[in-house]
Amino acid sequence: MELQVGWHRWDVTPKEAVEIQRELRSRVVLHPPPGLRVERIAGADVSTEKGRDTGYGGIVVLDVASLTPVAQAGSAVPLRFPYVPGLLSFRELPVVAEAWARLEVRPDVLIFDGHGIAHPRRLGIACHGGLLLGVPSIGCAKSLLVGKHGRLGEARGSTAPIIHKDEVVGMAVRTRKSVQPVYVSPGHLMDLPTAVEWVLRASPKYREPETTRHAHRMVNALRRADGEAAELG
């Protein structure tokens, strides 16, 4: 798999990982590529199980017009980094990267089940992943990691800025009427308005985008199948 030039190693300590995040932050580009045309949009997710040292990753690519899958790829990779809040990408990105390497149809935009710049060091998994894979990326999370937001309307499409240390780092977005919002932030090669637009377009019926829903189902199926195979073996 081709990674971006000058990429870092993964066998690092949590302290080293924090320093890598601080260095990579300066490489994040918070605007889309000129003339970005989105025909395919994808979701990335990773499933793990307590007591097992394998991460099951998946990327599912959807046609933008129909939101139906056109390609997918999965992976099962040993987890080498501990679970540390704020350092999720060091645990999960090697798993996602393996699935990306197997993907035959590449998306124009990749949505991660996690945060972009709405992160203590402004480098969540969507930023880190976008840099690693060289793809416009969006973070869409189910809970806040940093910051607060004000009240937002009950209607679908209602939004409220997420503020952290006097900076707008994302948007609380109501994707379904009277349902808890999701928390959207740009990853790499992305800005906040465009990120919100694509999350809403990918979420016509449910709280989570179809990209995330498809990827989530895929990685859970991979994990269950591997567990059943291990039991039979």
pLDDT in tens, 19-64: 999 999 999 999 999 999 999 999 999 999 887 899 999 999 999 9
pLDDT in tens, 203-218: 999 999 999 999 999 9
Q: Is the pLDDT of residue 9 over 90?
A: no
Architecture of domain 14-232: 2-Layer Sandwich (3.30)
Residue 73 contacts residue 82 (beta carbons within 8 Å): no
Q: Is the pLDDT of residue 225 over 90?
A: no
| Alpha-carbon gap, residue 125 to 57, rounded angstroms | 14
Specify the residue for token string 């993964």: 10
Q: Note the pLDDT of residue 209.
A: 97
Measuring CA to CA, which residue among 138, 148, 143 is closest to residue 191? 138
Q: Note the pLDDT of residue 231.
A: 45
Does the annotation list 108 as a binding residue? no
Q: Note the pLDDT of residue 8.
A: 83
pTM: 0.92
Domain boundaries, the chain: 14-232
Does the annotation list 226 as a binding residue? no
